Structure 1
């Protein structure tokens, strides 16, 4: 008597959607592109967590959002281009569930590719960062923005299945992202907005608010397209608008002075060499680079009492009092302590935790 064969295990539709089509390729392309660009720009971010966040956001969002929009748009127009609309309407699943399954690859794969590149960049920066901590909430907010772009692209593809919609949508989004860096409160609605002060830290709710802003827009668009009661789309839309108002009204206050990062760390030489805490790992390198110059300056009238690099250095226009920028306290003019001389940023002269050219760095201190 022959043995009965066990019935073959059916493959879940979600798995089929996730492993086929444009989704996996979009995630792989984004991970490779961001990884290569981050590797090439490593000297500009490898020593400070704020720089890691800025450069990741600059390249990850600027490349990731247009890519996710295009992938989602192509995925969304697939059924209408292939004439599967009537057949899909006969399936027992609800329209919303079916569209969620179809949109998932274009939303999740690019976000996963970005998270992979972000994780690799953080590991590459870890040995060379002197202090502070990474900002995982901002990385997650960027991933949500990329996933939301995939959903919005999917909705656009469902409504306009024209083949050129995807590249046009990607082009428009790219131009929009790179043209809204203006220094005004509305810039923080742009997921690619950057912050260039290395001695600041984001408020704890910045990342979650950014997730509500971009995620709420995507959820509202998808519900308006596919929900049985389209009025429910008002709820995520209201949440997104509330988050947008909070972000715009807070403006540059989304980043606050970080006393732990801005405090000075000094050696015991004469003259003293002082750097900000975010660069304290470079202090031995800086002291060694200036050793010859300091030896020549000892005993000379008018020689600096200490070299200072960071927010308290002369000429930077950023002086600190109790961990708060004096400009934030309403003081318009200050003078540095007597005897202080500005020291070039060791971060800009360092490559992977070492001053690349000590002689040139020492020369730049007196020119």
Structure 2
């Protein structure tokens, strides 16, 4: 009573009971401490550095197409996924290394709650670093892409897969009492993530690092969410089976993961479908016309400039292309397939236009000559003529080593006037290039 009266009168010597914060505030404080300390923040930085360094080295392969950017970011899981597993495993063995397991078990907090707080750094930081790296790659792609949109659901599914790998590594770290478990699990994870790339079964779509290779496709809208359910369900089932009081509660996420796996494997290649807007042709006004797909339309000026001299030599020649096209559709009458401009581009430009034009000539005169004997004098002469024609139409010094006799034919072609060269090209394009006796000599 005296203490209470003193407290009311403002006596400085009064005994005031301590203020206990609500449970949710204590949890937020512990969670913030867990996220700020340990290997979590360092793992996010490592993921960002690894992704950016690797992606920078492969920038010509992805910068300019959202499909390629998303696909190569998925391949980054081959490196970042094992890192997430190793971080989770190390985080899971932290209490055993510090010998604080018995102390933490004496706290009034439930085991599942303690486990969720402990696993938070492994489940949050690696995917956060991955999302930051993906955002940087998206900003680098944006100025050079000609169409389409980023596949955000795929990137989100990759981040969820990273979190799931961190959780699985954490559970393994709690169960395996071995300091070398983290690097060993990382090696096993790398192998496991790489196996789907060499598999030919629908189960390969369950691999979070499996890359789709088609340029004019888009994923179905539910592909990303189903992948999230698959990976998150496995991780949630493992975590509940380890830490929940009722281990049967792990059956719910496990059932959801199995259902998502069935849907993904049954759909198979149908998870990606043709995108007519991406494959739509965009053409210039030249003769012959040059057409690229909408996703590469920013490359059209560079492609047209690269083929300008070649088109000038082919203009008016019977049998020459009326239109160069790129894309998934088969060429029609008067159309000829272009080599993929994206494969020879760099930051929205074609750095070696002469090489691209020489490659286009190779497409123009390519034929299936299987079964032909190339070790006869007539065949060697025809090969020299073919080499000279290709170098005359689109000269490039580094395409191949000149064949014996081709330089003589090239000098004759270069000495022809406009009418003579057109007459010769008419004969050449009408010939069966697989038959050496039909190849006209300049």
TM over 0.5: yes
* Deviation digits for residues 86-120 of structure 1 (CA, Å, limit 9, x no counterpart): 11111111111111110010111000010000000
Where 1:265 maps in the other structure, the secondary structure is: strand
Where 1:179 maps in the other structure, the secondary structure is: helix
Quote the Cα distance in structure 1 between the aligned partners of 2:243 and 2:193. Answer: 28
Contact 1:276 1:311 in 2 (8 A): no
For 1:98, the equivalent position in structure 2 comes to 114
Quote the Cα distance in structure 2 between the aligned partners of 1:62 and 1:238. Answer: 26
Q: C-alpha displacement at 1:273, in angstroms?
A: 0.6
For 1:284, the equivalent position in structure 2 comes to 301
Listed as ranges, the matches of 1:31-70 within 5 Å are: 31-59=48-76, 61-70=77-86
Where 2:307 maps in the other structure, the secondary structure is: helix
Query: Residue 109 of structure 1 is aligned with which of 120, 125, 141?
Result: 125
* Deviation digits for residues 134-193 of structure 1 (CA, Å, limit 9, x no counterpart): 011000000000000010111111111311111111000101111221232110110001
For 2:335, the equivalent position in structure 1 comes to 340
For 2:347, the equivalent position in structure 1 comes to 352
Where 2:143 maps in the other structure, the secondary structure is: helix
Larger relative contact order, structure 1 or 2 (CA cutoff 8 Å, min sep 6)? 1
Contact 1:81 1:161 in 2 (8 A): no
For 2:361, the equivalent position in structure 1 comes to 366
For 1:307, the equivalent position in structure 2 comes to 324
Quote the Cα distance in structure 2 between the aligned partners of 1:12 and 1:293. Answer: 69
Query: Residue 118 of structure 1 is aligned with which of 134, 138, 141?
Result: 134
Query: Residue 218 of structure 1 is aligned with which of 235, 239, 242?
Result: 235
Quote the Cα distance in structure 1 between the aligned partners of 2:200 and 2:327. Answer: 23
Listed as ranges, the matches of 1:237-256 within 5 Å are: 237-256=254-273
Q: Are the structure 2 counterparts of residues 112 and 187 from structure 1 closer, same or farther at C-alpha, using a change threshold of 3 Å?
A: same
Q: C-alpha displacement at 1:198, in angstroms?
A: 0.7
Where 1:118 maps in the other structure, the secondary structure is: helix
Query: Residue 171 of structure 1 is aligned with which of 180, 187, 198?
Result: 187
For 1:331, the equivalent position in structure 2 comes to none
The reply on whether 1:274 has 2:274 as its aligned counterpart is no
RMSD of aligned Cα (Å): 1.9
Q: Structure 2 stretches of 5 or more lacking a match?
A: 1-11, 14-18, 363-442
Q: Which stretch has the larger CA shift, 83-92 or 199-208?
A: 83-92
How many aligned positions are there?
342
Contact 2:127 2:159 in 1 (8 A): yes
Where 1:128 maps in the other structure, the secondary structure is: coil
Quote the Cα distance in structure 2 between the aligned partners of 1:204 and 1:156. Answer: 33
For 2:210, the equivalent position in structure 1 comes to 193
Contact 1:46 1:125 in 2 (8 A): yes
* Deviation digits for residues 309-355 of structure 1 (CA, Å, limit 9, x no counterpart): 1112xxxxxx4xxxxxxxxxxxxxxxx31111121111111110111
Q: C-alpha displacement at 1:85, in angstroms?
A: 1.6
Q: Which stretch has the larger CA shift, 350-359 or 75-84?
A: 75-84
Contact 2:233 2:257 in 1 (8 A): yes
Where 1:300 maps in the other structure, the secondary structure is: coil
Q: C-alpha displacement at 1:284, in angstroms?
A: 1.3
Contact 2:290 2:325 in 1 (8 A): yes
Where 2:325 maps in the other structure, the secondary structure is: strand
Where 1:12 maps in the other structure, the secondary structure is: helix
Contact 1:78 1:161 in 2 (8 A): no
Q: Structure 1 stretches of 5 or more lacking a match?
A: 313-318, 320-335
Listed as ranges, the matches of 1:67-78 within 5 Å are: 67-78=83-94
Q: C-alpha displacement at 1:34, in angstroms?
A: 0.5
Runs of 4+ with deviation above 2 angstroms: none
Query: Residue 29 of structure 2 is aligned with which of 12, 33, 36?
Result: 12
Quote the Cα distance in structure 1 between the aligned partners of 2:290 and 2:69. Answer: 26
Quote the Cα distance in structure 2 between the aligned partners of 1:347 and 1:293. Answer: 20
Quote the Cα distance in structure 1 between the aligned partners of 2:315 and 2:152. Answer: 46
Where 2:339 maps in the other structure, the secondary structure is: coil
Contact 2:196 2:205 in 1 (8 A): no
Q: C-alpha displacement at 1:302, in angstroms?
A: 1.1
Quote the Cα distance in structure 2 between the aligned partners of 1:176 and 1:221. Answer: 18
The reply on whether 1:142 has 2:158 as its aligned counterpart is yes
